[in-house]
Amino acid sequence: MFFGIILICLALFIVSFELEKDSGSGKSNQVVNIFNWGDYIDPKLITKFEKQTGYKVSYETFDSNEAMYTKIKQGGTAYDIAVPSDYTIKKMINNHLLLPIDHRKLKGLSNIDSKFLNLSFDPGNQYSLPYFWGTLGIIYNDKYVKASEVKHWNDLWSSKFKNSIMLIDGAREIMGLTLNSQGKSVNDTNSKDLQAAYEKLKKLSPNVKAILADEIKVYMAQDEAPVAVSYSGEAMEMMDNNKNLRYTIPEEGSNIWFDNMVIPKTAKNIKGAYAFLNFMLKPENAAQNAEYVAYATPNKAAKKMLPKSMQSDKVMYPTNKTIAHLEVYDALSQKNLSKYNDLFLQFKMH
């Protein structure tokens, strides 16, 4: 038995070694390490990048900003590119975890829509370049729910949705939408306002069917619940699998988020990192990626290359009027972050 396990390990090791040897091209010692969200790039683009530049890509994924942040902060990693979200970028800049990006080395920065440049979390885009963006909103099944019944966040508290709402498991998101429903900002840190939001959130408990992460996609597609709160990109994926699903952004306000490419301080292959940034700035590559991942691209030249139906999709590309009401999450201090999370945990207990 024991001997058998050793034999299997040995065989697997030899095979993987052989495979690695084969896939390494001319500059096989020049690896670009990319750290990105799961299922967030068209794999064909990686092959194309490798072929065009001769670099070899080592691609790793993470499933939350916090997990990625911890891994980079602890050191011992050598990621040349990472893709954190807005408030995490701010936190990484504050903690000196990122290298500034030299704009002179970039080609095609003008392809990016100016709306998505120079944002509060990274003024002047000194450290980050937009990759994808999206919103937080309500997904509903038009078999059971009318569009007019979910126009506002407050509609979630309606008694007709008893035990039928699925929420995304995030303190910022759920506390934020409650603050929005009370006419407050998603970045409110006033203790009184947070307490009031918590009191209101407690009343939502009877309507909440479950508080989940990625599984919402599967459940909504299976008709398990008529209403859910999640991100626009997740909504797109659900709608592909269930034609009855619709996505809406409550007009009083919500969250708009950005995932940007950054170069962590621990990067080893800076040249390779710039090569990848420039590769992703090219409209044809950004368009191919947006079509595959189905999130909104900030690259305006790439957007024009997308199929017409995708370009005019209000889920992915809400109107400027809607965008004006949306807020980016600020990086909270550790104390305020704990406050948000403690209240959210208490709500989950309720």
Partner 1 sequence: MKAKGLYFSSYVLWLLLFVLAPVALILYQSFIGINGNFTINNYESFFKISSYLRMTFNSVFYAGLITLITLLLSYPTAYFLTKTKYKQLWLMLIILPTWINILLKAYAFIGIFSQAGPVNNSLEWLGLGSHQLLFTNASFMLVAAYIELPFMILPIFNAVDELDESLINVSRDLGANRFQTFWNVIFPLTLNGIKSGVQVVFIPSLSLFMLTRLIGGNKVITLGTAIEENFLVTQDWGMGSTIGVILIATMILIMFLTGEKKRRRRQ
Query: Which of these, 341, 270, 264, lies nearest to 73 by C-alpha position?
Result: 264
Task: Say whether residue 281 binds partner 1 (CB under 8 A).
Answer: no
The span from the CA of 155 to the CA of 159, in Å, is: 9
Binding string, residues 286-325; x marks residues near partner 1 by CB under 8 A: ----------------------------------------
Query: Applying CB under 8 A, does 169 fall inside the site for partner 1?
Result: yes
Least Cα distance to 157 among 257, 250, 255 occurs for 250
Distance of CA 242 to the CA centre of its chain: 22
Encoded amino acid at 111, one letter: N
Say how many residues make up the chain.
350
Residue 195 in the binding site for partner 1 (CB under 8 A) = no
Instruction: Tell me how far CA of residue 154 lies from CA of 136, 159, 178, 186, 211, in angstroms.
Output: 15, 11, 8, 15, 18
Quick one: 219 or 292, whose CB is closer to partner 1? 219
Q: Quote the least distance from Cβ 222 to partner 1, whole Å.
A: 5
Residues 6+ apart with CB under 8 A from 31: 55, 56, 57, 58, 269, 272
- At closest approach, how far in Å is the CB of 146 from partner 1? 21
> Which of residues 169 and 330 has its CB atom nearest to partner 1 in the complex?
169
DSSP string, 69-81: HHHHHT-----SE
Residues 112-141 contacting partner 1, CB under 8 A: none
Residue 341 touches partner 1, criterion: CB under 8 A: yes
Asked if 92 contacts 84 with a C-beta cutoff of 8 angstroms, the reply is: yes
Based on CB atoms, which residue is closest to partner 1, 25 or 346?
A: 346
Q: Does 223 bind partner 1 (CB under 8 A)?
A: yes
Q: According to CB under 8 A, which one of 60, 113, 193, 224 is a site residue for partner 1?
A: 224
Stretch of residues binding partner 1 (CB under 8 A), selected from 28-36, 193-201, 220-228, 302-310: 220-228
* Nearest residue (CB) to partner 1, 309 versus 334: 334
Q: Applying CB under 8 A, which of residues 18, 199, 215, 251 lies at the interface with partner 1?
A: 215
Are the C-beta atoms of 347 and 177 separated by less than 8 Å? no
- Residue 23 or 222 with smaller CB distance to partner 1: 222
In sequence order, the 6+-apart residues with CB closer than 8 A to the CB of 58 are: 31, 32, 33, 34
Under rule CB under 8 A, residue 142 binds partner 1:
no
Helix (H) or strand (E) holding 349: helix 334-349
Residues 6+ apart with CB under 8 A from 343: 171, 175, 194, 195, 197, 198, 201
Of residues 192, 207, 189, 193, the one with CA closest to residue 153: 207
- Residue 10 C-beta: closest distance to partner 1, Å: 21
Name the segment binding partner 1 (CB under 8 A); options: 27-35, 44-52, 165-173, 256-264. Answer: 165-173
Based on CB atoms, which residue is closest to partner 1, 111 or 189? 189
Binding mask 65-104 for partner 1 (x = CB under 8 A): -xx-xx----------------------------------
Residues that bind partner 1 (CB under 8 A): 64, 66-67, 69-70, 163, 166, 169-171, 209-213, 215, 218-219, 222-224, 334-335, 337-338, 341-342, 345-346, 348-349
